[in-house]
Amino acid sequence: MYKFILALLVTSIAYTFSIVAQTKLNCRLEDSQHQAIPYASIKINPGYLGTITNAEGYFEIKYTSTNEFKNIQISCIGYQTKIFQIDSLIDEEKKKNPIYLTLEKQSYQLQEVIVGKQEILKDAKQIFANAITKLPHLLDDSPHIGKYYFRQSHQLDTSINRLIEAAVSIYDPGINNDIETCKFNIDELQSSLDNRNTDYKSLLKSYLYARKKKKHTGDPRITSNSSYKDTLIQQYLLRDLDHSKASFSKFYIGTNMIRGNIKGNRKKSLPINPYLKNGRPIITKSFIKEHQFKLDTILMFDNDPVYKIKILPNKRYPKIKYMEDSLIPIGYAYIRIKDFAFLDLDYGYVNNPNYKHSKGKLKFYFHLKVKFKEFNKKLYLSYLYSNRFDYNSDLTRRRRLIQELTNTEIIHNQDSIRRQLNTLNWKGDQYEKLPYSKEFWDSYSTLLPTEKEKLLKDNLIKKLSDK
């Protein structure tokens, strides 16, 4: 066990030194008031490589002399899209100057009933219904592979005890196929750090109980004669727990509320929250019946007007078991006017301010974000985010499980797709032990961590090294 942890530490340290040696553009995106613009889409031209800004507005582009990048296109809902030339950014980098890029805000007043030649609907519920109807025509119906950067952390406000960072692939046979027919592969592992204090005795007991009740078959190597003190049994237990509660594939399927829009799949969908009706929220006509909608404003995205719609609960909203009326769903949907395309969805359950025992500021019980971007007139997942209670949490439920996925590339070439389907293992398990590839990560643009996330990672590495 200690040898494995030491290997992970060496991997992480090697990664740290590889960053110093590589050439890169590190930029911050701001508005005219010098406020950070988070989660903006960064597209590198020519081609389809890209990334997004982090919560503090920072993003990074790695390049070598063989790259043929000409410019980057930056888009964010509510701002004017802008193109920046790579050469000018490289010149600033060579001068050791900080690179600050600015986007201007752009929106319309609701009183304006026409944006350009497009009439504005005032019925928010009808807008949402139109968007659901249009989904099968806007998402890609042909097989494709998406390349993504994945991050998973188990954290408190001041510490984390588990961190995974990886490059992953998702094979999607097309929107006309159920989301659960997608395939998942972990391409490269950037880091996998684990400092959890697991109660293996209780874990084995609950594991065997679930098997007895036929709720979970699990690993056949774990039997009623197994000892929780056996290090191999501990590894099997922890691996099975992680895979059943927070595997990469379950995160993608359970969080992607928009891609999951296929008739009949609610009953068999993998749960993101076992206490929520049908296991997870999903954008279907049932969603409309369970919420009310309010048109908030009109924003712009890539020179197209976009509806900003507020999502609120009605009397039929799905209640979470054992929570009574203490939690309610809220959110925002951003829907393009010209074709009713979902571009962005921010949704979750918060403490009900009208509940008699509700106290303190607004907090999310769980929080989901889904962002899409357009390529060749089709929409593809750009960013996926989930924040919920950690399954390793103590009784206070203060520890959170945060998972993020950001797109870097889409592959349409059928020869490339067939080749990767035949060569990658498609196990979809981020806990696989993979060798660290310095060459790969030196040229890979990740979702940059925030300053807080960097500090938490450094503290985790220090705790592991102290052991």
List alpha helices for 84-143, DSSP H.
86-94, 124-138
d(CA 209, CA 206): 5
Widest distance between CA atoms in the chain: 73
Average confidence score pLDDT of the chain: 83
Mean pLDDT, residues 165-183: 92
Confidence band of 114 (pLDDT split at 50, 70, 90):
low
pLDDT value of residue 21: 38
pLDDT for res 27: 92
pTM: 0.87
- Position 34 confidence tier, pLDDT thresholds 50, 70, 90: very high
Asked if 190 and 438 touch (Cβ cutoff 8 Å), the reply is: no
In this prediction, residues 232-236 reach a mean pLDDT of 91
User: According to the model, what pLDDT value does residue 11 have?
Assistant: 47
The residue to which tokens 């301010």 are assigned: 353
The predicted pLDDT at position 262 comes to 57
Domain boundaries, the chain: 1-105+446-467, 118-436
Query: 6: pLDDT confidence band, cut at 50, 70 and 90?
Result: very low
Q: How wide is the angle at C-alpha 38 spanned by C-alphas 362 and 186, nearest 5°?
A: 100
pLDDT surpassing 50 at residue 5: no
Q: Is 103 a residue whose pLDDT tops 90?
A: yes
What is the per-residue pLDDT across 382-430, written as a single tens digit (0 to 9) for each?
A: 999 999 888 886 655 678 999 999 999 999 999 999 999 999 999 887 6
Beta strands in 286-412 (DSSP E): 291-301, 304-313, 327-336, 342-351, 364-375, 378-389, 400-411
Which of 71-80, 151-160, 358-367 has the weakest average pLDDT?
Answer: 358-367
pLDDT given for residue 9 in this prediction? 45
Q: Which residues contact 350 (CB under 8 A, 6 or more apart)?
A: 327, 328, 330, 362, 363, 364, 365
Distance CA 45, CA 69 (A): 6
User: Quick check: 22 pLDDT over 80?
Assistant: no
Mean pLDDT (whole number) for 446-462: 93
User: Pick the residue with more confidence: 202 or 217?
Assistant: 202
Alpha helices in 33-75 (DSSP H): none
Instruction: Round to whole Å and give the CA distance between 429 and 320.
Output: 29
Residue 435 or 167, more confident: 167
CATH of domain 1-105+446-467: 2.60.40.1120
pLDDT at 286: 83
Question: Binning pLDDT at 50, 70 and 90, where does residue 211 land?
Answer: confident
Element containing residue 463 per DSSP (H, E): helix 451-466
* Size of the chain, expressed as the number of residues it contains: 467
Cα separation, 314 vs 200, whole angstroms? 43
Q: Which of 233, 212, 229, 213 has the alpha carbon at shortest distance from 221?
A: 233
Q: Tell me the pLDDT tens digit for each residue of 243-276.
A: 888 888 889 988 888 887 655 444 444 444 544 5
Cα angle 391, 394, 400 (rounded to 5 degrees) comes to 50
